[in-house]
Amino acid sequence: MSDDRKDDFLDDDAFDPESGDLRLVMKAVDAQDAQRLFDLFAPLHPADIADILEQIGPDKRRALVLLYGAEFDGDILSELDENIRDEVVGYLRPEVLADAVRDMDSDDVVDLLEDLEESQRGAILDALEAPDRDAAREALSYPEYSAGRLMQREFVAVPEDWTVGQTIDMMRASQDFPDQFYHVFLVTPQGVPTGNVTLGRLLSSNRDTALSSILEDSFHSFALDEEEGNVAYAFNQYHLISGPVVDTDGRLVGVITIDDAMAVLDEEHEEDMLRMAGAGEGSLSDGVLETTWQRMPWLGVNLVTAIIASLVIAIFEATIETLVALAVLMPIVASMGGNAGTQSMAVAVRGLATRDLTGANVWRVIRRETLVGLTNGFIFALVMGAVGYVWFGSLMLAGVIAAAMVINLVVAGLSGIGLPALLDRLGVDPALASGTFVTTVTDVVGFFAFLGLATILML
């Protein structure tokens, strides 16, 4: 590259992937300057390169992938959002894709394969060596979102009667080790894991120390068909770093590490957040039509619930015509109830997801949220009572909106906790349906209480 051309690139601010400054990368891609692209990407973590690919449009992404060529490796693929990853796989030349997949851990290979179409899946399987291909196919035979899909086949296991010295000697002599591992697993002659030893304890102990005497306290194994959400919960609950996966005979067949377990937790939390907002399970890379179809169902449900709330208002049409001030104050009552219900609902959905909210404490939490709603109701009743009196000069109207505020905030606290708990007991995802139901309840109760009290007391 000429000095003038280098200066043209370096005139810009330093490249910072976290701030989204992609000008230097885009200049290199537009100029088809592969060497400059290699230089920019050389100091970056694969996750940063994946972020860049996710932030640009399809045309630029295709040009970047083709220009980066053989430098593209499996670590970048494993960091990509699954929607973008499918697209990128289609751009890679077969030989580049084969090299990238060979460098990936077995769990990352399975994660890549399960989201691809059959034609792409076959191309990747063909690129693997026979043992790895068979292992990948076996992993894909396990239920989706199970420990069998999540585990990796690379682990270190030794007989349970070995010493530290024997283990270290074996590790030094072996040429077939995982790139990263945290525990050495102890197994019986039948291959059943009985405990694990951390590398720190192993390296700090005398050579003649029996491994069975330095076992880690936290040891938890998982069945192949264990739901991955339960796996992630166990890692978080018991502070695990890695955990063995066993077959139906209890034999060690794989290991799950904390990075994979935490990825599951992140995905579940993200999914809950999107579902509570009725935004589906999409990502920023989804197209307009795909995003529209994901959001349309819950917008339709919301329309139905809004019509129900409007029907309540229609019942009191004559009251509103007589007392126009009610139309001004109605949105305040509904809005306060909706926000209070959302606060309680967020607490409930989070508690259910982390399993902190259970049948043993649900009534205590419901009572607490109801009392919180009552307390806040009285506080904001005083505020709105004063506002209503100053605004419209009617003491009776001030009393009506104050009473409606108390009623709606109590119902908001009760429904915000109670409805998610009930839906969870019925086997319905509380994050998916709670928001719509809670909003409907607070709107209907708020309008009915406010307009009903006004009709009884002011007409």
Collapse the DSSP code of 294 into the 3-class scheme (helix H, G, I; strand E, B; otherwise coil) and give the result.
helix
What is the predicted pLDDT for the residue at 113?
83
Tens digits of residue pLDDT in 289-317: 777 777 777 778 778 888 988 998 999 98
Alpha carbon distance 166, 162 (integer Å): 6
User: Tens place of pLDDT for every residue, the chain, 459 residues?
Assistant: 444 443 343 334 444 544 446 788 888 999 999 999 998 998 898 889 998 998 888 889 999 999 998 888 888 988 888 778 878 888 888 778 878 887 787 788 888 888 777 777 777 787 777 888 888 888 888 988 899 999 988 899 999 999 999 999 999 888 777 878 899 999 999 999 999 999 999 999 999 999 999 999 889 999 999 999 899 999 988 999 999 999 999 999 999 999 889 988 888 777 777 666 665 565 666 667 777 777 777 778 778 888 988 998 999 989 998 888 999 999 999 899 989 998 998 888 888 877 888 888 999 999 999 999 999 999 999 999 999 999 999 999 999 999 999 999 999 999 999 988 988 888 887 876 677 788 889 999 999 999 999 999 987
CB atoms closer than 10 angstroms to residue 284: 10
CA distance 300 to 279: 12
**pLDDT tens for residues 125-153?**
877 778 888 888 888 889 888 999 999 88
Q: Can you count the helices (H) and strands (E) in the chain? A: 22, 6
Which H/E stretch holds residue 234? helix 228-238
Contact 454, 337 (CB under 8 A): no
Q: Which two tokens stand for residue 250?
A: 């209890």
Centre a 10 Å sphere on the Cβ of residue 179 and count the other Cβ atoms it contains.
Answer: 7
Alpha-carbon torsion (166, 167, 169, 170), positive or negative:
positive
DSSP 335-400: HHHHHHHHHHHHHHHHHHHHT-S-TTTHHHHHHHHHHHHHHHHHHHHHHHHHHHHHHH--HHHHHH
pTM of the shown model: 0.68
For the beta sheet containing 222-223, the strands, ordered from the edge strand earlier in sequence to the opposite edge, are: 222-223, 242-246, 252-257
Positive/negative CA dihedral, 118, 122, 128, 129: positive
**Any idea what the Cα angle at residue 104 is, between residues 102 and 108, rounded to 5°?**
130
* Tokens matching residue 312: 């309540």
Dihedral, CA atoms, 43, 49, 52, 57, nearest 10 degrees? 140
- Residue 354 backbone dihedrals phi, psi, to 5 degrees: -90, 0
DSSP notation for 390-411: HHH--HHHHHHHHHHHHHHHHH
Q: Which domains does the chain have, with CATH numbers?
A: 3-141 (1.25.60.10), 157-275 (3.10.580.10), 288-458 (1.10.357.20)
Output the pLDDT for position 189: 95
